[in-house]
Amino acid sequence: MDSIINPLMAARYLSTFDRDAANNEITLSLGFDFEEYVTITKNTSTKGPTYPNFRPDRSPIELGSGFWVKGVDKNGEIALLQAVRLYNLNTSFAEHLRSLRAYYMDVTLHASSHDRCKCVAPSAEIMTGKVAYHGDLWVRADFRGKGMPKIMAGIVFGVSYSLWMPDFVCALVPHWLLEKGVVEAYEYLHYERGGAKLHLVEEGILDDDLIIWITGEELRNRIERLGLARERDGTAFRAMTTV
């Protein structure tokens, strides 16, 4: 995506979701060391295993090519986790999934001969360039139903835009998230079936997921629209306080 990042708009956009998290008594922090992230996820008892594309032992992430978000409650206990990595693709995201390179840096070394990933979503065939992949989402049970998906996606959109200005931001999610309205809550603008039918034998992973996504241009428009709204609100507030 050929454009210039507007850091002030991004800051205003991110502050909205940081404030919403604080209103739910959650303090957010950002990390870049995925060894640390895996240590955190392993010690979070009710969270499922982290997929190999976010584990340095299977798919290393260079500094600046990924980040993770942690939210803690007022007692300092972990309440939410999620991770994002950037794929710089010369091929399509669909092919990156099918080849298993999305999950393993060295497919011949780490993948089983029985591992498979089928992607038939037409839109995944045209996703190329800078693709920010959003995954490994977890929210503690007592914080579900409190607007966390919107907050989590908002942080991911804002940070991804600020770091990379990607061509696409996408995620693979189970069908039940669509049926329960969670996909709508994440505020991705598009979804399509056939995103990834994945079987990683040694990982014990068997998925049949949708792909959800937003384009880089849609992402920029969303961030700048909310940033301008925050700017207008601030101008109105300053005018009121100087009367």
Question: Which CATH number does the domain housing residue 89 bear?
Answer: 3.40.630.30
Q: pLDDT-derived band of residue 7, with 50, 70 and 90 as boundaries?
A: confident
Could you tell me if residue 192 is inside a domain?
A: yes
Distance CA 20, CA 3 (A): 29
Could you tell me if residue 72 is inside a domain?
A: yes
Distance CA 201, CA 205 (A): 6
pLDDT digits (tens, 9 = 90+) for 78-96: 999 999 999 999 999 999 9
Distance CA 117, CA 95 (A): 10
Domain range for residue 147?
7-241
E strand map for 140-239: 168-174, 190-200, 205-215
Q: How far apart are the first and last CA of the chain?
A: 44
- Amino acid at site 17: F
pLDDT digits (tens, 9 = 90+) for 124-140: 999 999 999 999 999 99
Backbone angles phi, psi at 56, to 5 degrees: -60, -25
Could you tell me if residue 2 is inside a domain?
A: no
pLDDT digits (tens, 9 = 90+) for 28-67: 999 999 999 999 999 998 999 999 999 999 999 999 999 9
Could you tell me if residue 1 is inside a domain?
A: no
User: pTM to 2 decimals?
Assistant: 0.91
Could you tell me if residue 138 is inside a domain?
A: yes
Q: Is the pLDDT of residue 237 over 50?
A: no
Distance CA 40, CA 77 (A): 11
Token couple for 155: 């942080």
- State the total domains in the chain: 1
